[in-house]
Amino acid sequence: MDFGGLTKQLRVLLPGRTVAGYWGGFLALAVLAAIPFVFLALTAPSTEVDHPASLAGTSRAIGEEAGDPAPGPSLSASTGAGLAESPRPSARPTTGVPQSKFASPASHPITDESLPSPGNDFDVKCWPAATVVPGRSASVECNVLLSNYSSGEISLACRVDGMECTMTPNRLRPLPHLSSLNARMTVAAPSYAPVGTWVASVTATGGETGAALKQAAVNVNVPPPFSVSCESVGTSFVQGEKANMKCWVTFLDASSDVVSLSIRNAQGLPAGLDTSRLEARPNETQAFNIEVDTDKLQSRTYVLQVYASSNRYHQEAPASFQVVPPS
Asked whether residue 271 is assigned to any structural domain, the reply reads yes
Q: What is the CATH number of the domain that holds 295?
A: 2.60.40.2310
Choice among 75-84, 99-108, 141-150 with the minimum mean pLDDT: 99-108
The residue ranking higher by pLDDT, 169 or 18, is 169
Asked whether residue 25 is assigned to any structural domain, the reply reads no
Tell me what the mean pLDDT of segment 186-214 comes to: 88
For residue 81, is pLDDT > 70? no
pLDDT score recorded for residue 138? 94
Is the entire prediction scored with pTM above 0.75?
Answer: no
Contact partners, residue 120, CB within 8 Å, separation at least 6: 147, 148, 212
pLDDT score recorded for residue 313? 86
Q: What is the CATH number of the domain that holds 190?
A: 2.60.40.10
8 A C-beta contact, residue 260 and residue 280 = no
Asked whether residue 262 is assigned to any structural domain, the reply reads yes
> What does the alpha-carbon distance between residue 3 and residue 140 come to, in Å, rounded to a whole number?
123
Which residue range is the domain that position 168 belongs to?
118-222
Residues 231, 201 within the same domain: no
Q: Beta-carbon neighbour count of residue 229 at 10 Å?
A: 17
Helix, strand or coil, per DSSP, at residue 286: strand
Among 227, 226, 154, 158, which residue's Cα sits nearest to residue 188?
A: 158
Residues 249, 313 within the same domain: yes
Q: Beta-carbon neighbour count of residue 217 at 10 Å?
A: 11
pLDDT score recorded for residue 62? 38
Asked whether residue 283 is assigned to any structural domain, the reply reads yes
> What does the alpha-carbon distance between residue 60 and residue 77 come to, in Å, rounded to a whole number?
11
The DSSP call for residue 5 is H
Tell me what the mean pLDDT of segment 289-301 comes to: 88
Q: Which band of pLDDT confidence, cut at 50, 70 and 90, is reported for residue 45?
A: low
Residues 307, 284 within the same domain: yes
When divided into structural domains, the chain yields a total of 2
* Cα distances (Å, whole numbers) of residue 34 to 30, 31, 40, 172: 6, 5, 10, 91
Helix, strand or coil, per DSSP, at residue 131: strand
Asked whether residue 78 is assigned to any structural domain, the reply reads no
Residues 198, 240 within the same domain: no
Q: Which residue, 206, 222, 238, sits at the end of a domain?
A: 222
Residues 167, 240 within the same domain: no
pLDDT score recorded for residue 15? 59
Residues 130, 187 within the same domain: yes
Helix, strand or coil, per DSSP, at residue 198: strand
> What does the alpha-carbon distance between residue 261 and residue 309 come to, in Å, rounded to a whole number?
7
pLDDT score recorded for residue 95? 36
Tell me what the mean pLDDT of segment 113-117 comes to: 37
For residue 47, is pLDDT > 60? no
> What does the alpha-carbon distance between residue 35 and residue 43 come to, in Å, rounded to a whole number?
13
Asked whether residue 316 is assigned to any structural domain, the reply reads yes
pLDDT score recorded for residue 41? 62
Long-range contacts of residues 230-234, Cβ cutoff 8 Å, at least 24 apart: 230/290, 230/306, 230/317, 230/318, 230/319, 231/319, 232/318, 232/319, 232/320, 232/321, 233/320
For residue 97, is pLDDT > 70? no
One-letter amino acid for residue 196 of the chain: G
pLDDT score recorded for residue 89? 39
Q: Pseudo-torsion of CA 12, 13, 17, 20, nearest 10°?
A: -100
Asked whether residue 9 is assigned to any structural domain, the reply reads no
* Cα distances (Å, whole numbers) of residue 240 to 56, 169, 273, 294, 295: 132, 66, 19, 5, 3
Asked whether residue 19 is assigned to any structural domain, the reply reads no
